[in-house]
């Protein structure tokens, strides 16, 4: 009853910000993302009569009580379905440092869900696994299917699931992640999203989303990179406008974030096709086609205050692996 899973983080072209049901983590809108090859979590889990309580260990990282509680809640959901009352030992490792400010909840809850379901011998479909991952952390459902993924908002737990639109080898894109120095202490996404209705722009965001979703689907279908980039940027700015106008306001960007945005726009003026997107932190994801990776990496050398650069390819979804962490 010991299994290990590996799951990628993902970057959303259409973002998830705000829920229509907090407990079920039903999103206010559908979202679309790409799995990231170089930002992954590996989780090993064992259920056994030998354990008198659940143990959770993060290798190389500090963990809060709150995070451990969320993990145990997820184990409880799976134990309930399996009708098994065994305690578990969970060991988990991210290949990107937590201090880098990259959200680990998507890869973390996807890996945990896949590993725990297998360890409990649950025979679940991919759709069911995405629904379970969603209950742990919304964006985690998008890390389960492969490649380019659509999370249908749905209107109930059963209808809010993720599915692959295209496999990882469909389009050779890159997500060049720039980790900026001195990330500000941030407000977590669960807490941050709770204030979404206080933004006067949230309603207009929701009204404008169907058109952007259609455009991203068209861009993916036609492999129209400029359309994908333009809408991804527009969407990122739209989500951050909502965040900044919530009460209390959330400013995830810092000065370095803005410097990068400015430079990306200059590079585009020089005919280099590259676009940015940003999640709940100051780090910037640069989206480009593989053929332009080298030139963009050269340009990045000229930027200041970048701590780390991670070049991601589109990746497969969460899956079991044979190498256990304990």
Residues lying near ligand PMV in the complex (CB under 6 A) are found at: 12, 15-17, 31, 103, 105-106, 137-139, 189-190, 279-280
For ligand PMV, the closer of residues 90 and 103 by Cβ is: 103
In the complex, least distance from residue 19 CB atom to ligand PMV, rounded to whole angstroms: 9
In the complex, least distance from residue 177 CB atom to ligand PMV, rounded to whole angstroms: 13
For ligand PMV, the closer of residues 148 and 267 by Cβ is: 148
For ligand PMV, the closer of residues 17 and 225 by Cβ is: 17
> Is the dihedral angle over the CA atoms 225, 228, 231, 237 positive or is it negative?
negative
* Among 273, 285, 318, 293, residue whose Cα is nearest residue 106: 318
Contact 238, 208 (CB under 8 A): yes
In the complex, least distance from residue 65 CB atom to ligand PMV, rounded to whole angstroms: 18
201, two tokens: 């722009």
Interatomic CA distance for residues 291 and 223, integer angstroms: 14
* Among 314, 320, 318, residue whose Cα is nearest residue 33: 314
In the complex, least distance from residue 103 CB atom to ligand PMV, rounded to whole angstroms: 5
In the complex, least distance from residue 291 CB atom to ligand PMV, rounded to whole angstroms: 26
Q: Which residues pair with 5 in a beta bridge?
A: 43, 320
In the complex, least distance from residue 1 CB atom to ligand PMV, rounded to whole angstroms: 28
* Among 109, 221, 102, 92, residue whose Cα is nearest residue 162: 109
- Across the chain, the runs of DSSP E, i.e. the strands, are 2-14, 19-21, 26-27, 31-48, 55-58, 87-94, 148-151, 162-166, 173-180, 275-277, 284-289, 306-312, 319-321
For ligand PMV, the closer of residues 30 and 230 by Cβ is: 30
For ligand PMV, the closer of residues 139 and 292 by Cβ is: 139
Contact 130, 96 (CB under 8 A): no
Within 8 A by CB and 6+ apart from 290, the residues are 172, 173, 174, 313
In the complex, least distance from residue 186 CB atom to ligand PMV, rounded to whole angstroms: 11
For ligand PMV, the closer of residues 8 and 292 by Cβ is: 8
For ligand PMV, the closer of residues 188 and 255 by Cβ is: 188
Pairing of β 55-58 and β 87-94: parallel
Distances (CA, A) of 155 to 62, 150, 158, 217, 267: 36, 15, 8, 21, 42
Helical segments of 270-315, H only: 293-300
For ligand PMV, the closer of residues 28 and 176 by Cβ is: 28
In the complex, least distance from residue 270 CB atom to ligand PMV, rounded to whole angstroms: 29
């Amino acid at each position: 009853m010991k299994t290990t899973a590996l799951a990628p983080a993902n970057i959303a072209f259409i973002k998830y910000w705000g829920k229509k049901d907090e407990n079920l983590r039903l999103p206010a809108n559908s979202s679309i993302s790409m799995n990231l090859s170089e930002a992954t979590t590996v989780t090993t889990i064992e259920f056994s009569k030998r354990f008198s309580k659940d143990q959770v260990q993060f290798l190389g990282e500090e963990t809060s009580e709150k995070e451990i509680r969320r993990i145990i809640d997820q184990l409880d959901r799976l134990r309930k379905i399996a009708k098994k009352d065994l305690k578990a030992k969970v060991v988990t490792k991210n290949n990107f440092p937590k201090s880098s400010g990259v959200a680990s909840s998507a890869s973390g809850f996807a890996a945990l869900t896949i590993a725990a379901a297998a360890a409990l011998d649950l025979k679940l479909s991919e759709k069911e696994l995405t629904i379970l991952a969603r209950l742990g952390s919304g964006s985690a459902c998008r890390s389960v299917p492969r490649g380019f993924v659509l999370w249908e908002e749905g209107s109930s737990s059963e209808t809010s699931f993720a599915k692959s639109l295209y496999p990882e080898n469909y389009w050779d894109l890159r997500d060049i992640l720039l980790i900026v120095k001195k990330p500000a202490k941030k407000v977590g996404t669960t807490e941050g999203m709770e204030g979404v209705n206080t933004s006067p722009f949230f309603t207009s965001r929701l009204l404008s989303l169907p058109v952007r979703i259609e455009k991203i689907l068209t861009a993916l279908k036609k492999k129209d990179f400029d359309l994908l980039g333009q809408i991804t940027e527009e969407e990122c700015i739209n989500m951050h406008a909502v965040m900044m106008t919530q009460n209390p306001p959330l400013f995830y960007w810092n000065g370095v974030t803005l410097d990068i945005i400015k430079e990306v726009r200059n590079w585009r003026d020089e005919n280099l096709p590259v676009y940015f997107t940003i999640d709940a932190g100051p780090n910037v994801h640069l989206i480009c086609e593989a053929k332009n990776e080298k030139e963009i990496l050269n340009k990045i050398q000229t930027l200041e205050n970048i701590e780390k650069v991670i070049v991601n390819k589109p990746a497969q979804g969460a899956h079991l692996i044979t190498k256990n962490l304990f």
